[in-house]
A and B are shown apart, each in its own frame.
Chain A
Amino acid sequence: MNKVVGSAKEALNGVKDNMTILVGGFGLCGIPENLITALRDTGAKGLTCVSNNAGVDDFGLGLLLQTKQIKKMISSYVGENAEFERQFLSGELEVELTPQGTLAERLRAGGAGIPAFFTPTGVGTLVAEGKEIREFDGREYVMERGITGDFALVKAWKADRFGNLVFRKTARNFNPMVATAGKITIAEVEEIVENGQIDPDEVHTPGIFVQKIMQGPSYEKRIENRTVRA
């Protein structure tokens, strides 16, 4: 068995129209940038993308908004993307805004075989409309559904050949949950090492969740708000 593939294009073999694609990252930090560009180049349309943010106009998932390949987004915050706002307000793009913690838990639950759970987040707001409310110990909770996807695209710092992943700093964010929730999970990494070179105590995502691994040819790692000490 060899999980390592030569390119993002090869890794995405099998992506079809109308699939649900889960994508890791927070803002532009820890996004699978090579896989996103390759996903655009597959030309697949009608996609449902689950990602905390929608990139910016010309980087990250913003690239697939430009080409109108995304039918629906499930996200918590999309304020950095003018094209997103335009497509949403004009009705071209379907959007399910989900609180950030609820989104993280929906992915975690989906990957863990839990179809639904109750959370206090969003009770009494638009987010809870049409959903089951139940009281536990005197407080109201709203039922939220787990999320799974046809493909999950994550970015890690390092992988070994079995697919054990190590993330770096705050580039971890949504990647571990996204990795668990894909039928096919592809990890793009900065470095592939031999099995045994990652200490088992330091593995963040065990390789069982990863079906394909590819090393990105280059990383732009664009910074959204470069801020330095005065």
Chain B
Amino acid sequence: MPLVEPGATGAKTETEAVAPIKGGNPGQKRRLGLTFWLSAGWIFTLVFLALFRDILPIRDPDELGIRTREVAKFESPGRNACGGGDGQGRDMFARVVQGARPALILGLTVTIIGGILGSAVGVTSGYLRGKVDTVTTVFIDIALAFPGLVLLIAVRATFGNSMFVFIVLFSLTSIPGYARIVRGASFALSERDFVDAAAAMGATKRRIILRELAPNIALPVLSFAFIGFALVIVAEGGLAFIGLSLDETTWGKLIADGAGDIARHAHVALFPATVMFLTILAFNLVGDSMRALYSPREVATQRRLRVGAMADTGSGDEVLYIDDLFTALHTPNGDVHAVDGVSLSLKAGEALGLVGESGSGKTMILRSIVGAFALADVTRTGTVEVAGVDMLRAEPADIKRTLGTQIGMVSQNPLTALNPVRLIEHQITEPMLVHTSMSKSEARTRALELMQQVGIPAPERRLREYPHQLSGGMRQRVTIAIALANEPELLLADEPTTALDVTVQDQILRLLSDLQRDRKMAMVLVTHDLAVVKGFTDRVAIVYGGEVIESGPTEQIFSNPRHRYTVALIQSMPNLDLPSHSELTTIEGTPPSLVSPPRGCRFAARCPAAQDICNTTPPSTNEASEHWFRCHFPAGDDAEGAA
């Protein structure tokens, strides 16, 4: 079995749309970008100059030009001295390089000491929690509120200007910042299962902190350290400017010294100020770019909806008509062909089950109908019509009206589908108030009716409650009520029961099915669970690798599955008729990549019946027939159907 196959991320979540992107290029390197390298280059140059000042051809920063006559008094920047000269003819470039030393030494030591101590406090507090955490958090809060500058001025008055005093004070004041960031990160990380897994292995707390948590917080801490480094330089510069310099030549002091002559000889203050500014900027930019390494959201693609060529239009009596739909997600790792030539149609009162594994593209078909793609650059080609409205090309207002009045949506997770801070009543009446001329009281009456229809006990009281006061099953009933508010012709249900318990799942499926039949709605039921569509749908379409590979009446799909994938899918369902401990049929391997789908049959690589032709030629089919499939060597005895 191939070990690292793209396209399979297993987890059955609403992030299915993103799964093929993530899985499509598992070993992808996130890029740091030009800004990072330019900034890093600046920092490197600065460090290099400061380190090797003595052996590089740089003048003595204290050498008085008015005496040696090498640099003139207030000499302008130029070939002789690139930073110019100060009031005593000292080479400003040499002085700025000299000033880089205290800045870098202070920044580095403070960042290392503060970073390590702060991280140690943070990780301990975030992992151990309880009293340790409460006490630590209080101390962090107090420390962050403490005016460090006042402390510094006070201490300096007693102990004088030594580097040691500065390092100790700056380190002390930087610890709470690191501690707070690391505590937050560790707190979140310690809820991940791998921390429990390590504890279950018998790992000591010390080992968990050092081996499990530390490597995962290293990158965020490093990124913050660069920003912290910049803060130290700023603070030191500010102190030096007000006369608290720790050395004769620091950037802050150079700026302060030059400030007096700024009107006539601006370069004396501007040159060190510019270098200091660029250095701080560089450290900040390096820190920010590194964040992209551990926080991929920040490099997400732009949101864009594009439309390609049109295919055939429907005859008008279909509620949903999809012809030759292609949906491509443009990602930095290539185009993901999430939907690849899908045609479906649904009349009033019909229920269609769309079945596939995660990453198959089943949810993307649904999203292509309503045009909802989270953070993606998408192109849809072909035809999608809902109640006669072209959902790809109609006026935005028409599309919006169709979405609001003709389509009802029920999603996988009722908790995230509902707004946590709004009353149930407002969430049910909103679609009516927005899309119809109903008055508030009419909408309220209707909301009450809907609550009764979806089987919510004590509906009047429930209307005045918030989503968190309801159980998972009740919340899903509320989202169904919202979906039904404007009497839609098409109900789109995306894994409506996956997040629910089995006894609740049964209730919700029956409710959906009853409502769909009573109201003669067309319904698309998307699910990974074949058992769910049995009994609740008229037809089933099996989705694999972005294609519908078999479609037919629900009974026939179960009694006479033809495509080898459908057969395997049915057999791999745990079957109550088989004795326990008997071997389940499995499908070896993993689904195909949607970035570069196979040339022939999408299932060929995993198919027990595959022959050469399967790898080279996509199987054709007659999609007009009632039960059709894309397979060169179908299962079952009669060979009809494969044209």
User: Do the two shown chains form a genuine complex with each other?
Assistant: no
Interface residues of B (CB under 8 A from A): none
